[in-house]
Amino acid sequence: MIEYRTPTEIEQMRPAGRFVADVLTALAEKADVGVNLLELDELAHQMIRDRGAESCYIDYHPSFGASPFGKVLCTSVNDAVLHGLPHDYVLADGDLLSVDFAASVDGWVADSALSVIVGTPDPKDQQLIDTTVSALAAGIEAARPGNKLGDISFSIARVASRAGYKINTDFGGHGVGRTMHGDPHVPNNGRRGRGLPLRPGLVIAIEPWFLQSTDKIYTDADGWTLRSRDGSRGAHSEHTIAITPDGPLILTAR
């Protein structure tokens, strides 16, 4: 069921958005050569405890997950692009790290993701990250009253295709509110002018993610981490936004 939020409720969602943004900023600053993924997860866990927030991930167990997630972050490295389960891995020079984080503050959820290069950047990795950021910006720009859901998806896909990346539509954006995942699904490819009419009060996470040379993925033996079929690297960018009469409001702006 698609839910629409009142202006007052959208204001009540701002603290969750700010908290998620602050955590991701701290994680991006912490990520460096020699840092263990479990250290990043513990940093986020401590920030959750200090804020009195609640993790959206630790008990999360959807049909596609092998077991309850058990951690508070998704940390996807190199050929991993989504749902990366934090484990005993030390970041190395040149790693491409994607971090996805969602939390609830005062009963409202926000969800966001970013990708960073650890140490020495590879221009191809930077181009991939920059494309997800540009695609996210294009999708957000299209999230205006009077447009359709397909306009968001089309805008994301156009940026990706111009950069030469293929698009997987198995996973994408989603509604956000009292829970992390709700209706509608927001695919990263679609037809302009088609789908759900966008109107004020809709709160969604828009999240383009691309792989360098494929759109095929598989699930790692950990039962969660999604990796590219051909070993190419992936990147992921995401914001929670509210559609208002004046246009999109980025609740997780950093």
Known binding residues for substrate: 83, 181
Q: List, as residue ranges, the binding site for a divalent metal cation.
A: 100, 111, 174, 207, 238
3-state helix/strand/coil string of the chain: CECCCCHHHHHHHHHHHHHHHHHHHHHHHHCCCCCEHHHHHHHHHHHHHHHCCEECCCCCCCCCCCCCCCCCCEEEECCEEECCCCCCCECCCCCEEEEEEEEEECCEEEEEEEEEECCCCCHHHHHHHHHHHHHHHHHHHCCCCCCEHHHHHHHHHHHHHHHCCCCCCCCCEEECCCCCCEEEEECCCCCCCCCCECCCCCEEEECCEEECCCCCEEECCCCCCEEECCCCCEEECEEEEEEECCEEEECCCC
Instruction: Please state the residue numbers annotated as binding site.
Output: 83, 100, 111, 174, 181, 207, 238
